[in-house]
């Protein structure tokens, strides 16, 4: 398929259009899909803790968002992470999705 911005006069052969994004950055939520919920939550928690440690003094909004996300997960991981109750597992999964793009 010839790219619409390229005229066919300039090229003798059609130029393929590539829709694949190279160098795609993945956060731990996407990178750990398929792993147990506990491993995914702990990996994301560690990533957010590192982001909070690297957060500047004047980044108040970012710092507040990170602290809120971490406070939420700290309350959820107090029990047995290997075998969480259905309600806790649902809340942890929702936390992962809600904070997927944070940091």
Q: Give the mean pLDDT of 18-24.
A: 48
E-assigned strand segments in the chain: none
Per this entry, what is the length of the chain?
103
- The verdict on pTM exceeding 0.75 is no
Q: Specify whether the CB–CB gap between 81 and 38 falls below 8 A.
A: yes
Q: Tell me the CA end-to-end span of the chain in Å, nearest whole number.
A: 38
Break the chain into its structural domains and give their ranges: 28-98
Q: Which residue has the higher pLDDT, 18 or 59?
A: 59
Q: Which residue has the higher pLDDT, 11 or 61?
A: 61
| 23: confidence class by pLDDT, cuts 50, 70, 90 | low
pLDDT value of position 31 = 74
């Amino acid at each position: 398929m010839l790219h619409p911005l390229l005229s066919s006069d300039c090229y003798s052969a059609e130029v393929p259009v590539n829709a694949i994004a190279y160098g795609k950055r993945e956060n731990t939520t996407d990178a750990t899909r398929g792993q147990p919920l506990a491993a995914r939550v702990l990996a994301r928690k560690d990533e957010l803790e590192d982001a909070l440690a690297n957060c500047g003094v004047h980044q108040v909004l970012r710092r507040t968002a990170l602290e809120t996300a971490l406070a939420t997960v700290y309350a959820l991981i107090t029990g047995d992470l290997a075998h969480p109750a259905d309600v806790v597992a649902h809340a942890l999964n929702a936390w992962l999705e809600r904070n997927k793009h944070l940091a």
